[in-house]
Amino acid sequence: MKRFDHFINGQWTAPATGNYLDSENPATGKPWSQIAQGTEADVNEAVAAAQKAFDGEWGAMTATRRGELIWRMGDVLLQNVDKLAELETLDNGRILSDMKGIVGYLAEFFRYYGGLADKIEGAVPPVEKPNYFNYTRHEPFGVVAALVPWNSPLLLTVWKLAPGLAAGNTFVVKPHEFASAGALELASLMAEAGFPAGTVNVVTGLGQDVGVPLVAHPDVRKIAFTGGDVAGRAIAKSAADDFKPITLELGGKSPNIIFADADLDAAAKGTVMGMFTTNGQACVACSRVLVHKDVAEKFNERLIYHTSAARLGDPMSKDTDMGPLISASHFDRVMGFVNEAREQGASCILGGEKSTREGLEAGYFLEPTILGNITNDMRIAQEEVFGPVMACLTFEDEEEAIRIANDTRYGLGAGLWTEDMRRAFRVSNRLQAGSVYVNSFRVVSYMSPFGGYKQSGIGRENGLEAIREYQQTKSVWFNLNEDAPAPFGKPYG
């Protein structure tokens, strides 16, 4: 099997203990590689390398030069699309055709933030104090800990690296143990592209062995995390001990509202795209569908039709639309949600079982599942399942739709489908979500901020706002007075 070491200080580095973890291919249920099983000793080495780079070559580099290197990574990604996409597909089961598109698109993130690197300006406030000159600077924090999940590891790593590096920080990345290969290869490519040693380091392993000491490390000055709210809460508590700033994206239970006047076929296709093309393993997947009772039957017909067309199979094949869930334990967790919902009275409109399609028996394949007769107090409607399981509810009027949509502790995304643009503005303003999609779902751009309300997180990724997440503001004062008054009215001498 292929073996991956840590990537520390610009080179592949064996784990301090010499131990490795198997990484499974979820399509086959068999190990395909091994990753270094890191410990606190490896974390300390990586943080020291990142600190040295920040204090040295990377920190001394002009913003323009940093931007040139970051921009160059866009070209490097495009030259390595096939390699990076294949690693991601082997590691987490996302279909290869999607991964190639994602890797290619990530080039634009590096170019966008590379272009912004030397355009981060301070200000000269017109302060009211005579004979004082004041200006502000936006400065990096230093070493940033970036912790990324298994569902889109390369994408979510770049979402942190591109703005954070443009802001002048260095990084230690901790990918999930289920899917570490992409982040490791990316760090290696960045070193080849000319980034100084230690600018981006990757330490792999289990959360308690690597993530916990990384978050708590005294030289880590900023934490960026994407993952579940349980881990996010633990990270926030740890960060509070040293008052470290945090950016957290913690998932959601995103509602998708289908009004009676919507184009039902477009709404059904958009709903399937927003849910099943990622196998439901996306933080902003539209896992709660709210349909006006007058069109529920017609909409469900279209929803079932378009969902049923999904081809489950080998994620490396160009003929596959949906791949497997990430692991056996996650498969069991998702099925637990489905079975509990059935016990509570939900009807299974489609799917709901492990796939029996030929050749898929050994992998973690779940048929795309649509559940009806759902009420919003059921666990299936309140908690993030993170699998291809859609909960369908009905509503009678606009007020009820908004009430149900907002009745969750999450607030990452929300969608609505209507031909009435007055309604679209009215409802989108009242939905409690960081992103609202009108007649669409699950759209992102490097130019537009992404993040959550409520327990879906803190801070924003992407857009101009993301750079501010990785900077602190300094206010500098110059005294222009030729003489200073005696503080207590008695001049010296």
Active site residues: 249, 283
Per cent of the chain over pLDDT 70 is 100
- Site of tokens 């990537």: 7
Cα–Cα distance, 273 to 75 (Å, whole number): 29
Q: Is the pLDDT of residue 483 over 90?
A: no
> What is the tally of helices (H) and strands (E) in the chain?
16, 20
How far is residue 83 from each of residues 39, 202, 328, measured CA to CA in Å?
28, 18, 26
Q: Is the pLDDT of residue 245 over 90?
A: yes
Contact indicator for 337, 348 with CB cutoff of 8 Å: no
What does the buried/exposed string (b/e) look like for 228-261 if buried means 16 or more CB atoms within 10 Å of the residue's CB? ebebbebbbebbeeeebbbbbbbbbbbbbbbbbe
Q: Is the pLDDT of residue 299 over 80?
A: yes
Report the pLDDT value the prediction gives residue 489, as an integer from 0 to 100: 86
Nearest C-alpha neighbor of 224 from the set 141, 284, 282: 141
Q: Is the pLDDT of residue 271 over 90?
A: yes
Nearest C-alpha neighbor of 159 from the set 473, 474, 457, 441: 457
Report the pLDDT value the prediction gives residue 228, as an integer from 0 to 100: 94
pTM of the entire predicted model:
0.96
**pLDDT of 167-222, one tens digit each?**
999 999 999 999 999 999 999 999 999 999 999 999 999 999 999 999 999 999 99
345-372: average pLDDT: 96
Q: Is the pLDDT of residue 360 over 80?
A: yes
Average pLDDT value for the chain: 97
3-class secondary structure per residue, 399-460: HHHHHHHHCCCCCCEEEEECCCHHHHHHHHHHCCCCEEEECCCCCCCCCCCECCCHHHEECC
Q: What is the DSSP letter of 358?
A: T
**pLDDT of 247-259, one tens digit each?**
999 989 999 999 9
Q: How confident is the model at residue 491 (pLDDT cuts 50, 70, 90)?
A: confident
Report the pLDDT value the prediction gives residue 347, as an integer from 0 to 100: 97
Report the pLDDT value the prediction gives residue 393, as an integer from 0 to 100: 98
Report the pLDDT value the prediction gives residue 209, as an integer from 0 to 100: 98
Report the pLDDT value the prediction gives residue 485, as an integer from 0 to 100: 83
Nearest C-alpha neighbor of 31 from the set 94, 96, 90: 90
**pLDDT of 451-476, one tens digit each?**
999 999 999 999 999 999 999 999 99
Q: What is the DSSP letter of 132?
A: E
Q: How confident is the model at residue 492 (pLDDT cuts 50, 70, 90)?
A: confident
Report the pLDDT value the prediction gives residue 346, as an integer from 0 to 100: 98
**pLDDT of 138-179, one tens digit each?**
999 999 999 999 999 999 999 999 999 999 999 999 999 999
429-434: average pLDDT: 98
Report the pLDDT value the prediction gives residue 493, as an integer from 0 to 100: 76
